[in-house]
């Protein structure tokens, strides 16, 4: 599979979940492992550009596919606009849900660069944040929509 | 949570997949979107020895609308594809109404309609939609293909009629003859929760007369409830408030909910009654405006 643009080849047990493959085999610990029951969404990564819960995908199923994790957002020292938005608008407190939120926000903006508040709320509705009450996450994603090239951070 | 150990195959052809299932002699399982099966395996409620991943089989991701309005949903068509398929929604509004209410948007990326029918969860949403539309499943095994009406396909909670070496290759929603209307309403405690109660309504109208009706309920029985009495209360009549009330009464009567943490049995029947009334009332006011 391709992970963050790099081809990786490993022999793994069929029962290895994608989230553990990313964290334990590749050391990409930005993807968090949360509820483990496909509910909380902290483990969201992009799979062929669409968000998936990596605790509910077998690593072997990702063979031949393109996976992107939160580590791919920053590019040559430049944060992705969604990362900047979360900083500008206090989109996180404890940070546990953040990597999943960032990835679904990125997928949303790639498809719909100017989403309404309702659209943003819908896009993150499969993910749980226990700190922010979501309002600042929604604002953060809007910030990113309004600053597609990023901005002074 | 790790599933127990299993072997994994990702065949490239349907024949190969069927062969693997055949040799698996009942210990092998098809893996589609994995959004029900993987959680079950992690909980070790399911412990197949072999998973046959059908995600690489060509052609199964096809979502087709034929000239006569028939909709063919391949086994790899995801909930998300159906959510975005405007042409399908125009033919069968009930599909467009239900798709965004299945699970949550991220589960919808992977989960499939056909997988949902196979999973046969009494609280699954697609089985109600397909029942209301009198759809059928096309299965292929070593002996060839067969078509299985949805009412015969699901045999009980989490049970379907497929032989161990059959793959459900598509679900078919037959084309309508007259003007189509309908809707889907679901009460859920939060996004991503299964239905406390849900109602799929699909009707066809010739002028103001109902020529065909399908009303199916989810979450209110040990399997999807086909509320045939409710549908019969509408056929041949106009959508008057009396006809709507008769259908809502019959649907609530057909529901067989059990009390649980989502609500009492009486409450769930009440929800069904309200949903049938709401969908049909909306249809009748919209078609009046159109007339
Ligand atoms: C958090 C969460 C919330 C959910 N909420 C809802 C909800 O509100 N409503 C709802 O309806 N569903 C809900 N689901 C379930 C979801 O819709 C699943 O996608 C669906 O039930 C199964 O589809 P799948 O493609 O993922 O199948 P899989 O998980 O791959 O398979 C499910 C079962 O069907 C069999 N199977 C699958 N495809 C085939 C085939 N082509 N031929 C033969 N057998 C096959 C498998 O062997 C397995 O036994 C939820 C799931 C999650 C994780």
Same domain, A103 and A46: no
* Cβ contact B109–A52 (<8 Å): yes
Domain-located, residue B218: yes
Pick the last residue of a domain from B141, B173, B205: B173
Closest in B2, B80, B105 to A15, CB measured = B2
| Tally of domains in chain B | 3
Among the listed residues A52, A148, A150, A48, the one whose alpha carbon sits nearest the alpha carbon of residue A100: A52
3-state per-residue secondary structure call for B131-156: HHCCCEEEEEECCEEEEEEHHHHEEE
Tens of pLDDT along chain A (153 residues)?
999 999 999 999 999 999 999 999 999 999 999 999 999 999 999 999 999 999 999 999 999 999 999 999 999 899 999 999 999 999 999 999 999 999 999 999 999 999 999 999 999 999 999 999 999 999 999 999 999 988 754
pTM of the entire predicted model: 0.96
Q: Supply the CATH number for residue B77's domain.
A: 3.30.465.10
* Closest approach atom of ligand 1 to CA B126: 11
Domain-located, residue B204: yes
From ligand 1's centre to the CA of B159, what distance in Å? Answer: 13
Which chain A residues contact residue B106 at CB under 8 A?
A: 41, 44, 51-53, 104, 126-127
Q: Supply the CATH number for residue A87's domain.
A: 1.10.150.120
Same domain, B186 and B150: no
Pick the last residue of a domain from B122, B138, B173: B173
Same domain, A49 and A111: no
Same domain, B97 and B149: yes
User: Phi and psi at residue A51, in whole multiples of 5°?
Assistant: -70, 135
Cβ partners under 8 Å of residue B172, min gap 6:
B70, B71, B72, B73, B135, B136, B137, B138, B147
Same domain, A16 and A34: yes
Per-residue CA distances from A105 to A79, A114, B149 (Å): 14, 12, 40
Chain B touched by A58 (CB under 8 Å): yes
Domain-located, residue A15: yes
Same domain, A86 and A45: no
Q: Measured at the alpha carbon of residue B71, what is the angle toward residues B278 and B243, in degrees to the nearest 5? A: 25
What pLDDT shows up at residue B291?
58
Domain-located, residue B120: yes
Which chain B residues contact residue A51 at CB under 8 A?
A: 105-106, 109
From ligand 1's centre to the CA of B118, what distance in Å? Answer: 8
Reported ipTM: the value is 0.94
pLDDT digits (tens, 9 = 90+) for B26-61: 899 999 999 999 999 999 999 999 999 999 999 999
What pLDDT shows up at residue B286?
84
* Closest approach atom of ligand 1 to CA B186: 8
Domain-located, residue A151: no
* Residue B126 structural domain: 63-173
């Amino acid at each position: 599979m391709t992970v963050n643009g790099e081809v990786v080849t490993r022999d793994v047990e069929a029962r290895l979940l994608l989230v553990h493959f990313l964290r334990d085999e590749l050391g990409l610990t930005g993807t968090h492992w949360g509820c483990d029951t496909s509910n909380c969404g902290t483990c969201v990564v992009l799979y062929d550009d669409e968000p998936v819960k990596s605790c509910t995908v077998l690593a072997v199923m990702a063979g031949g596919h393109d996976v992107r994790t939160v580590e791919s957002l920053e590019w040559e020292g430049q944060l992705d606009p969604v990362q900047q938005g979360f900083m500008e608008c206090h989109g996180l407190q404890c940070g546990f849900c953040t990597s999943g939120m960032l990835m679904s926000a990125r997928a949303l903006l790639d498809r719909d660069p100017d989403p309404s508040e309702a659209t943003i709320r819908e896009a993150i509705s499969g993910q749980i944040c226990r700190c922010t009450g979501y309002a600042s996450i929604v604002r953060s994603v809007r910030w990113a929509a309004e600053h597609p090239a990023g901005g002074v951070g | 949570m790790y599933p127990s150990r299993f072997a994994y195959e990702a065949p490239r052809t349907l024949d190969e997949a069927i062969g693997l299932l055949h040799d698996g002699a009942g210990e092998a399982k098809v893996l589609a979107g994995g959004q029900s099966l993987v959680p079950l395996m992690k909980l070790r409620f399911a412990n197949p020895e072999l998973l046959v991943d059908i995600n690489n089989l060509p052609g199964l991701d096809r979502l087709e609308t034929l000239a006569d309005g028939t909709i063919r949903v391949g086994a790899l068509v995801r909930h998300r594809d159906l959510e975005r398929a405007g042409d399908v929604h125009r033919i069968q509004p009930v599909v467009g109404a239900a798709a965004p209410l299945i699970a949550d948007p991220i589960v919808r990326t992977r989960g499939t309609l056909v997988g949902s029918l196979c999973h046969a969860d009494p609280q699954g949403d697609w089985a109600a939609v397909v029942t209301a539309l009198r759809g059928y499943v096309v299965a292929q095994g070593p002996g060839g293909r067969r078509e299985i009406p949805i009412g015969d396909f699901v045999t009980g909670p989490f049970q379907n009629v497929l032989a161990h070496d059959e793959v459900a290759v598509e679900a078919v929603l037959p084309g309508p003859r007259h003007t189509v209307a309908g809707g889907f309403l679901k009460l859920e405690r939060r996004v991503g929760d299964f239905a406390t109660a849900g109602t799929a309504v699909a009707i066809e109208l010739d002028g103001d007369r109902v020529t065909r009706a399908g009303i199916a309920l989810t979450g209110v029985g040990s399997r999807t409830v086909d509320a045939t009495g409710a549908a019969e209360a509408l056929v041949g009549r106009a959508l008057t408030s009396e006809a709507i009330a008769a259908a809502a009464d019959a649907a609530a009567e057909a529901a067989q909910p059990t009390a649980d943490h989502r609500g009492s049995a009486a409450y769930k029947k009440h929800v069904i009654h309200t949903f049938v009334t709401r969908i049909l009332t909306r249809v009748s006011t919209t078609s009046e405006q159109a007339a």
